[in-house]
Amino acid sequence: MTQGAVKTTGKRSRAVSAKKKAILSAALDTFSQFGFHGTRLEQIAELAGVSKTNLLYYFPSKEALYIAVLRQILDIWLAPLKAFREDFAPLAAIKRVHPSEAGSLTRLSAGFAPVLYGDAGRRAAVNG
């Protein structure tokens, strides 16, 4: 493989990673606001700045994207638990393990419950 091919592959890899990150961020915002059933892939794609077709290239279905959002949230939440020590407060552990994510903890916390439970309330109301 030539050096030029390596550079192209590296750029492509960064572009793919950036697109996935934008899609996941848009999905978190949209699922948090509208719940699973109230969210349309077109909304997420528009917010992420990609086409619906491009979104479906990275995540083959709304369910797959929803699961990816949940995994991302849980990964961020659970990683600090592995590093917990009794003498560290939870937020301090999060800042130590994920300093760049500590600032978005409030957003994730606010988004986590609606993503998980947003549709549960509707189901309970419908099912009586």
- Most distant CA pair in the chain: distance in Å? 64
Q: Tokens for 105?
A: 């903890």
Separation between Cα atoms, residue 95 and residue 102, nearest integer Å? 5
pTM of model > 0.85 = no
Kindly report the CATH class assigned to 3-127.
Answer: mainly alpha
pLDDT in tens, 66-118: 999 999 888 887 776 666 666 666 666 666 766 666 555 555 555 555 555 55
Average pLDDT over residues 10-22: 90
Give the pLDDT confidence score for residue 40 in this predicted structure.
97
Q: Which of 21, 11, 104, 111 is nearest to 65 (CA)?
A: 21
Q: What is the dihedral angle through the alpha carbons of 54, 57, 59, 60, rounded to the nearest 10 degrees? A: 120
State the pLDDT at residue 5.
Answer: 46
How large is the average pLDDT for residues 43-61?
Answer: 97
Contact (Cβ atoms closer than 8 angstroms) between residue 49 and residue 36: no
